[in-house]
Amino acid sequence: MATIKELSKREDLLSGGHRLCAGCGASIAVRQVLLGANAPVVAGSATGCLEVSTTAFPFTAWKTPFIHNAFENAAATISGVEAAYQALKRKGKIDKDVKFVAFGGDGGTYDIGLQSLSGAMERGHDMVYVCYDNEAYMNTGIQRSGATPFGAATTTSPAGKVRAGKPQQRKDLTQVIAAHNIPYVAQASVSHWKDLIEKAEKAFAVEGPAFLNVLAPCPRGWRIKSDETIEIAKIAVQTGFWPLYEVEDGEWKLNFKPKELKPIVDFLKPQGRFAHLFKPGNEHLLEEYQEQVNKNWAQLKKRCGVE
């Protein structure tokens, strides 16, 4: 893996000056992932915060070939470009190595783009798919998605007298993609940059498809300050809400193993989207939250062979 000194010499392929919000986790995730490519790379992005804020015509923040496609087909688009590249390489018309990566938010990955993603992974394209998971449809008004966690207040799962935010548990997409038996799958966070870049290097290095699910907090949707992005992402890992792990050729490995997890309230309380959970009468919801996190953590440790 690259050293800090080596990484400092690599060019950022996403420039500053884009229109993403201050503290946006998506841009942090993209820059860290692209540092792991260390080769010419073709990038694509589903419609969403990342795309609309980095490619406002006639400007672009991307320092690499970039393809904007529809909300639902980022994986299909990049898999097609990769297939064309392989064909040209077989014909001797291209002789250099090129990497391919698709980015999508949780709306364009967990939900609208899941069929496209699953197909690209199953077909075995030599590409990386990165989900920057901010846990809602942030670009269109903070609507709940399949990644929105239990209890979160969004514009389509509001907290009120009838319900205390989203009543369902979030989808575990990382494990869904791991079930495709592809060479590399990993869950990472923008707070743990070294872990994320190393996982990106592995993802780009394997032959065949790879998937990275990266927690990328949204200050606007999570109701946190713009300078709290990294700290809240770190607490997500420390509480077990967002475990760091990887599945390499079917082998599960836990990358962060604290002696004791912090209580989930440490993650929930700083965020305005969970403020209603701390009102009198909702204590049972916090207990339910902790029980679910403990259950998921125990299952993951067992799967990774950790006592």
Measured between alpha carbons, how far is residue 111 from residues 220, 235, 243 in Å?
21, 26, 21
Domain ranges of the chain: 4-303
pTM of full prediction above 0.85: yes
Task: State how beta strands 245-248 and 184-189 pair.
Answer: antiparallel
Cβ neighbours, 10 Å, residue 213: 26
Is 142 a residue whose pLDDT tops 90?
yes
Phi then psi dihedrals of residue 195, to 5 deg: -60, -45
What pLDDT does 6 receive?
A: 87
264 and 290 in contact (C-beta within 8 Å)?
yes
The span from the CA of 173 to the CA of 164, in Å, is 24
Residue 222 has pLDDT above 80, yes or no: yes
Question: What backbone phi and psi angles, to 5 degrees, belong to 126?
Answer: -85, 80
With a cut of 90, say whether residue 203 has pLDDT above it.
Answer: yes
Q: What is the pLDDT of residues 79-105, one digit of tens each?
A: 999 999 999 999 999 999 999 999 999
pLDDT value, residue 143:
98
| Nearest-angstrom CA–CA distance, 226 and 241 | 21
CATH of 4-303, one of 3.30.70.990, 3.40.50.2300, 3.40.50.970, 3.90.940.20: 3.40.50.970
Q: Say if residue 1's pLDDT is above 80.
A: no
Q: What is the pLDDT of residue 17?
A: 87
Q: Which two tokens stand for residue 36?
A: 């792991």
pLDDT of residue 275: 98
Tens of pLDDT, residue by residue over 256-299, are: 998 899 999 999 999 999 999 999 999 999 999 999 999 999 99
Check: CB of residue 120 under 8 Å from CB of residue 76: yes
